[in-house]
Structure formats: C-alpha cells, structure tokens
Structure 1
Amino acid sequence: MTAPLVGLAAALTMTACGVPPTGVIEAGEPASGMFSPAPRATAPVVVSLYFLRDGDLAAYPRESEEPVDLGAVVGRLFNGPTASEAETATTALPRLKRAPDVTAGGDAVSVQLPDGLAPLSQPAMLQLACTVARASTSSATLPAEPEPEPDPGGASTAPPVEARRPPAHTSVHVLGDGWTMTQSADACPGLP
C-alpha cells in the first residue's frame, strides 16, 4: 500500500511544479565502453626512399606521422625528391600524372605504370627495387613498440623502422605499355 502512495505523491509533486507527465523518451543507444580523453601520440614512421647522389644510390629517410602503405611509398618515390632533398638528390624515375598500381605477393612486388612510358633505366629500376625492399619492412608489418624517450634536444631517439628488422629480399616487376622489367633488391646499398 505504501508504493501506490509514494507514486501518487511523486505525481502530485510533478504536477504541482508544472511539469507535465510524459512517457519514455527514446534518445539513441545507451553509452558503452570507455573513451580516452586524448589520443595517444605515436612515434613517427621512417621510410627510406632511394634517390641518386652523384650518380650513386642513396637512402633518404622520410618521416610520416601515420602508417604508410607500399603504394603510397612508391607514389612518393615517383614524385621525386623534396626541395631540401633536391640539394643533393636526383632521380632517374619519370614524374607520373597518376600513381602506379602496386601489388605485393610473396617476395615480389608488381608496379603497373600508366600507358605511354618508355622502359625504365637501370638506375631507375634500382631506385624502385631498393625503396620497395626498405618499405616492405616498415611499420605496417611491425608490432607496436613502446614510445621512445626524447633526447634533451627534443628529437626522438627511435631508430628508423628499417634499422629494427632486416629487409626482405624483394624483386620488383615493372609493367609498362608493352614492356616488362624485373629488378632484384639484393644489390641495394645498406641492405644485408
């Protein structure tokens, strides 16, 4: 008997305040999970692109704040050296109007170039093969690691990604308009 009286008292109190009675109001799904107030900072990913320095292959490391897939790495290589890299770097690769199609399987990577391009030179093929070999060991295939301690100057003490794991022995198949070329990464400088 006390429960109906408590309900009646609550209803009278609500109507006395001018609040009309309502039914259940649907307001979306209930809250679930816990969310971090701020995203965790991740260590930069370092991927080396191979350009030519005085005619010889040389690795030019580039940092990225997010993981970079193999297609993006190859696209960056075909875009050539940055303004600061161009002080010492050149490229034998042609500039492309659209990114090449890149597929990977086993120890081979295929790069389908847009139509109308001549076969690549030997230095261009080596640039491509060495960059792909380095990129095949980048963050996309590495487990998460603890964040490094910054040095007193504020720079990260993390080694480049490729220094943490040996590179894959990769071959690159480049397919052009009526031609195909293959290059091994076994002779790349700095690769075991």
Structure 2
Amino acid sequence: MTRTRTAATALALTTLLTACGVRPTGVIAGGDPATGLTRGLRLYFVDSGGLQGVSRPNPGIQDLAGALKLLGVGPNADERRRGLTNLVEFAEIDVSGEGTRVTYRSPEASFDTDRDRLPNGQVVCTLARAQSYLSSRDEKRRIRPDDVQVTLVNAERRFGPYRCSQFLTGTG
C-alpha cells in the first residue's frame, strides 16, 4: 500500500467511526504481552508468582541435554530485570526421552521437599517443552507438551511421572 492510500484509508476509517459515535482516543496501554503457544523452545524460570515460561525461538539444541544446559545458563539480562531467576543447579546432566516419556537422573539431587517444588517444575516443564520441540521436526511423531510425562530419579528413588501442568497450577 502506498502512503497516500494508507493515509486515505485511515482518514476514511476515522470519519466512519466518528460518524457512528465512536470518539478517537489517545494511546492506551496494552498491558502484558500476549501469551499462548509459541514456536521454538520454552525454558521455565521462577519469579515471585511461580514458574514463568520464556521463549527461545531458535535454540539450536539437538537433544534434551541441550535444553537443560540452556536452563542452567539462566535468564537473560532482560528476564532478570523482570524478576526471573533460576533455582536449578546441574552437577551432571543425564536425561533420556522416548515418545511422551522423559527421565532425568541426578543422583545427588533432592526432589522430595517443599523447597524442591519450583526447581522440579523448572526441570519438568523445560523437558516437556524440549521433548515436544524436538519431536516437531518429524511430522509423524509430533508430541504435545501436555502429553509429556517426566520422571525425576535420584540415588534413592523415582519421583513422578509429572506433567508440567502439575507445577503451573499449584497441584501435584
């Protein structure tokens, strides 16, 4: 569209709206950015309200371990300014996935106390999204993040399997 045509369209629209009683307003704040399904990978960090997913549109990961390594890097500068933080520390990364099942093994980790809930959620949600992201390369085996179940294993026992929604809703 040319500038003249664009200006003419805007003028016509303004005239039409004014004629039917709609008055022009100044700039109105739009609020928070839109949320919902995104392309690419999502990592989950923590703020005062719980888990928050952040987009990594072109993460360049080849496997689930790559997603956990990105999580370990932590939030970027803008995300830190918004109050996001990382509660997960990785001594080693041992993760495997097949279809809708993912297992994360960390012999030294504690997965069973109340203070472990948010870090566990970070791992579960990030791995669920990563399994979905990695499966999206193959149209025949595409997996929805909500269908992924993640089991956490330390030296003593297995926890889960968990779905990300259990950590986002406060249940589980």
| Smaller-chain TM-score bracket | 0.5 to 0.7
Q: After the TM superposition, which segments of 4 or more aligned residues of structure 1 sit over 4 Å from their partners? A: none
SS in 2 for 1:137: helix
Structure 2 equivalent of residue 55 of structure 1:
49
User: How many residues were matched structurally?
Assistant: 124
- Deviations 1:130-162 (Å, cap 9, x if unpaired)? 112221221553259xxxxxxxxxxxxxxxxxx
The answer for unaligned runs of 5 or more in structure 2 is 1-38
Give RMSD over aligned pairs: 2.9
Structure 2 equivalent of residue 4 of structure 1:
none
> Contact 1:48–1:131 (CA<8 Å) still a contact in 2?
yes
Q: Structure 1 residues 119 and 170, CA, compared in 2 at 3 Å: closer, same or farther? A: same
> Contact 2:61–2:67 (CA<8 Å) still a contact in 1?
no
Point out the structure with the larger helix share. 2
TM-score when normalising by structure 2: 0.58
Structure 2 equivalent of residue 180 of structure 1:
158
CA drift at 1:172: 1.0
SS in 2 for 1:91: coil
Equivalent runs, 1:41-190 vs 2, <5 Å = 46-64=40-58, 66-87=60-81, 88-93=83-88, 95-98=89-92, 100-113=93-106, 115-119=107-111, 121-138=116-133, 140-142=135-137, 166-182=144-160, 183-187=162-166, 189=168
> Contact 2:41–2:59 (CA<8 Å) still a contact in 1?
no
SS in 2 for 1:68: coil
Q: Structure 1 residues 85 and 141, CA, compared in 2 at 3 Å: closer, same or farther? A: same
CA distance, structure 2, for counterparts of residue 167 and residue 118 of structure 1 = 24
CA distance, structure 2, for counterparts of residue 89 and residue 82 of structure 1 = 9
CA distance, structure 1, for counterparts of residue 86 and residue 118 of structure 2 = 8
TM-score when normalising by structure 1: 0.53
The answer for unaligned runs of 5 or more in structure 1 is 1-44, 145-164
**Rg: which structure is higher?**
1
